[in-house]
């Protein structure tokens, strides 16, 4: 099916940014849930405040569904006093372990990359 559909090719840099965003989104979602139970829109708000990770809001929910299927999250519908019920998510014990190891990996990964990028950003060393 993917072979048949012809979509306009995005610019290489945009594509790279989209991939990067997508890769980080999972970590960001897990991090949002570190110390509280949240429902979808609250998670989105957390992501909006701290990053520009989300392109289409609806696409956060499939990721939440998969994280739950992987056993990293648990969820429950909660009736609100006013308004409609909402589906709250929280980290399971394996989810907690996972986000810690992801955060550690992220830290060492970005530290290494940053030291590589230093000369690039400083614009030194080449004429």
Partner 1 sequence: MNPMTSNPLIESYFAALAAQLSDLQQAKRDEVVRELRAHLFDRLEQINVPTDDDCRTVLKAMGTPEEIARQYRMELLLNRSAWRISPWSVLRTLFRWTLTGIQGYIVFVLAMLGYTLGASFYVTALLKPFFPHNVGVFVSEGCLNLAHFPEPPPGAEILGAYYVPVAVFVGFLFTLGTTLAIRFVVRRFGKLKQKVAGMAAAA
Residue 81, CA atoms < 13 Å, CB-side half-sphere: 0
Q: Provide the minimum distance between the beta carbon of 8 and partner 1 in the complex, in angstroms, as a whole number.
A: 11
52 binds partner 1 (CB under 8 A): no
**DSSP class of 80:** -
1 binds partner 1 (CB under 8 A): yes
Q: Would you say 5 or 126 has its CB closer to partner 1? A: 5
Q: Which H or E run contains 77?
A: strand 73-78
Residues that contact partner 1, how many (by CB under 8 A): 31
Q: Provide the minimum distance between the beta carbon of 27 and partner 1 in the complex, in angstroms, as a whole number.
A: 14
Residues 85-104 binding partner 1 (CB under 8 A) are 85-87
- Residue from 24, 27, 40, 90 touching partner 1 (CB under 8 A): that is 40
Q: Would you say 36 or 118 has its CB closer to partner 1? A: 36
83 binds partner 1 (CB under 8 A): yes
Handedness of CA 63, 68, 79, 34 (dihedral sign): negative
Give me the residues that bind partner 1 (CB under 8 A), please: 1-3, 10, 14-15, 18-19, 21-23, 39-41, 55-59, 61-63, 65-66, 69-70, 83-87
């Amino acid at each position: 099916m993917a072979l048949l559909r012809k979509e306009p090719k995005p610019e290489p840099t945009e594509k790279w940014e989209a991939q990067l965003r997508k890769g980080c989104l999972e970590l960001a979602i897990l991090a949002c849930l570190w110390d509280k139970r949240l429902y979808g829109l609250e998670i989105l708000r957390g992501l909006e405040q701290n990053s520009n990770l989300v392109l289409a809001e609806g696409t956060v929910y499939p990721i939440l569904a998969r994280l739950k299927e992987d056993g990293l999250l648990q969820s429950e519908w909660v009736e609100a006093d006013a308004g409609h019920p909402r589906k709250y998510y929280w980290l399971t014990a394996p989810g907690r372990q996972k986000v810690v190891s992801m955060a550690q990996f992220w830290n060492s990964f970005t530290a290494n990359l940053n030291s590589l990028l230093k000369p690039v950003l400083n614009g030194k060393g080449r004429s």
